[in-house]
């Protein structure tokens, strides 16, 4: 018998009551006009209204790390430089989210710069229809794994020691800790010393063992899951990639490490390469420039370290003619000032550039490390210097020069 009630019930369960497009999104707004338009546009289209959060760094840190978000809308209508502000907050955003920047800067360079970061740009003012069409287009790109909706790659930082014993690994671990703990950015610290190294000691990791690359590993297809299995978790946002092998050469381990990094780069904000003097021998200048978004060159105030730093700096600059790689110079006082054989002024004159960060000598450094205390958390001038270095990396400070030079310890 024809039952109209049953048909209506079935239609109500399987039909139009469920949302046509379930898109999880968030708007970080600067103006009331923008947030009202976004909310009304979503409601008119029948979409789930995005979370509405005022645009500041702390709100972005807290929200995006605790939620599963497909689309992040960032209003930068009040920004004086959209590209710089977008770059500054890029490390706060999850790589698997599609980012739409709304701004009133009508310049091709802005669109190009944002595209390079993996961000979409929507020029303000816009209508509700234009906004929704754009959001749905981005959502469709995600479903098809096309366009800028694909996962963005991590920024790669190479920390290079001019010679052994200048504190390269320590600085690597402090950068990684500040980026993950303070900046809420996901990081992978890559240990490129395949037969030794002290990454675990500097991080205070107990029962740490390098991951063994088994014979025949190159014949096995490496995917994202197996690559993630190579990581050792330090905390929720920081992992360590440290590989070794009893049967493979260092060059083979390096290639396998690079392959793992290629797979995990889409799931992290930063890849931090520890290229202390021993590890640096496995890399040539072409590889460093090709891999790196930023290079941190570390030296100590000695003649030998300064000469090596000048040579490395010149090699990288010669190779970096067509690259956007940034370079920061860090002078690390591993010894008391009285034991230094060159002054800050002599270092800058010989390198023909300003030193970006000077890390003062830290008394009882070994004790701090053994007690698992972070050098970037002990206060004083040393903490300020390390925080300044991280600020330069993430673009929080436009000034290239920062001198934090003090005689004695970090008091």
Q: What is the pLDDT of residue 218?
A: 60
Are residues 243 and 388 located together in one domain of the fold?
yes
What is the sign, positive or negative, of the torsion defined by CA atoms of 129, 132, 138, 140?
negative
What CATH number did the domain enclosing 248 receive?
Answer: 3.40.50.300
Are residues 221 and 330 located together in one domain of the fold?
yes
Domain extent at residue 386: 155-394
pLDDT at 390 over 70: yes
State mean pLDDT over 365-382. Answer: 87
DSSP codes joined into one string, 241-258: EEEE-SSS-HHHHHHHHH
Are residues 198 and 277 located together in one domain of the fold?
yes
Are residues 244 and 348 located together in one domain of the fold?
yes
Backbone angles phi, psi at 10, to 5 degrees: -65, -40
Q: What percent of the chain has pLDDT over 70?
A: 87
Task: Please state which of the ranges 56-65, 124-133, 175-184, 310-319 shows the lowest mean pLDDT.
Answer: 56-65
Q: What is the pLDDT of residue 108?
A: 85
Are residues 189 and 110 located together in one domain of the fold?
no
**Residue 336 resides in a domain:** yes
State mean pLDDT over 40-63. Answer: 89
Domain boundary among 149, 173, 202: 149
**Residue 143 resides in a domain:** yes
The rounded distance, in Å, linking the Cα atoms of 246 and 249 is 8
pLDDT at 2 over 50: no
Are residues 51 and 197 located together in one domain of the fold?
no
**Residue 141 resides in a domain:** yes
Are residues 248 and 273 located together in one domain of the fold?
yes
Are residues 119 and 63 located together in one domain of the fold?
yes
The rounded distance, in Å, linking the Cα atoms of 79 and 103 is 8
**Residue 408 resides in a domain:** no
Are residues 107 and 163 located together in one domain of the fold?
no
Q: What is the pLDDT of residue 151?
A: 67
Tally DSSP H helices, then E strands, for the chain.
16, 14
pLDDT at 359 over 70: yes
Cβ–Cβ < 8 Å for 168, 275: yes
Task: Please state which of the ranges 205-219, 299-313, 343-357 shows the lowest mean pLDDT.
Answer: 205-219
Overall number of domains in the chain: 2
Q: Given pLDDT bands bounded at 50, 70 and 90, which one contains residue 219?
A: low
Domain boundary among 149, 173, 200: 149
**Residue 14 resides in a domain:** no
Are residues 116 and 54 located together in one domain of the fold?
yes
């Amino acid at each position: 018998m024809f039952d109209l009630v049953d048909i209506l019930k079935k239609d109500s369960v399987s039909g139009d009551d469920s949302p046509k497009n379930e898109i999880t999104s968030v708007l970080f707004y600067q103006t009331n006009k923008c947030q009202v338009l976004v909310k009304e546009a979503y409601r008119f289209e029948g979409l789930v209204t995005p979370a509405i959060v005022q645009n500041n760094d702390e709100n972005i840190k807290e929200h995006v790390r605790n939620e599963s978000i497909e689309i992040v809308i960032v209003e930068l209508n009040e920004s004086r430089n959209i590209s710089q502000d977008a770059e500054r907050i890029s490390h706060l955003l999850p790589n698997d989210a599609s980012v739409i920047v709304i701004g009133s800067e009508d310049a091709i360079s802005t669109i190009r710069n944002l595209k390079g970061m993996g961000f979409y740009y929507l020029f303000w003012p816009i209508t509700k229809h234009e906004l929704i069409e754009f959001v749905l287009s981005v959502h469709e790109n995600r479903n098809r794994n096309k366009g800028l909706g694909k996962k963005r790659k991590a920024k790669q930082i190479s920390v290079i020691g001019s010679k052994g014993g200048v504190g390269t690994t320590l600085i690597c671990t402090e950068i990684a800790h500040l980026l993950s703990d303070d900046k809420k950015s996901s990081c992978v610290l890559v240990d490129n010393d395949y037969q030794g190294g002290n990454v675990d000691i500097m991080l205070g990791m107990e029962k740490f063992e390098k991951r063994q690359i088994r014979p025949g590993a190159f014949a096995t297809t490496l995917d994202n899951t197996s690559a993630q299995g190579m990581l050792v978790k330090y905390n929720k946002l920081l992992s360590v990639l440290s590989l070794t092998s009893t049967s493979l050469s260092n060059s083979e381990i390096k290639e396998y490490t690079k392959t793992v990094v290629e797979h995990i780069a889409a799931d992290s904000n930063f890849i931090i390469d520890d290229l202390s003097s021993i590890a640096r021998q496995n890399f040539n200048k072409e590889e460093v420039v090709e891999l790196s978004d930023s290079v941190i060159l570390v030296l100590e105030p000695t003649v030998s370290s300064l000469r090596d730093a000048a040579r490395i700096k010149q090699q990288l600059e010669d190779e970096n003619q067509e690259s956007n790689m940034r370079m920061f110079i860090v002078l690390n006082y591993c010894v008391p000032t009285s034991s230094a054989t060159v002054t800050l002024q002599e270092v800058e004159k010989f390198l023909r550039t300003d030193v970006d960060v000077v890390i003062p000598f830290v008394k009882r450094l070994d004790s701090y490390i053994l007690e698992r205390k972070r050098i970037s958390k002990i206060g004083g001038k040393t903490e300020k210097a390390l925080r300044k270095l991280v600020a330069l990396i993430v673009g929080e400070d436009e000034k290239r020069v920062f001198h934090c030079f003090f005689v004695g310890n970090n008091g």
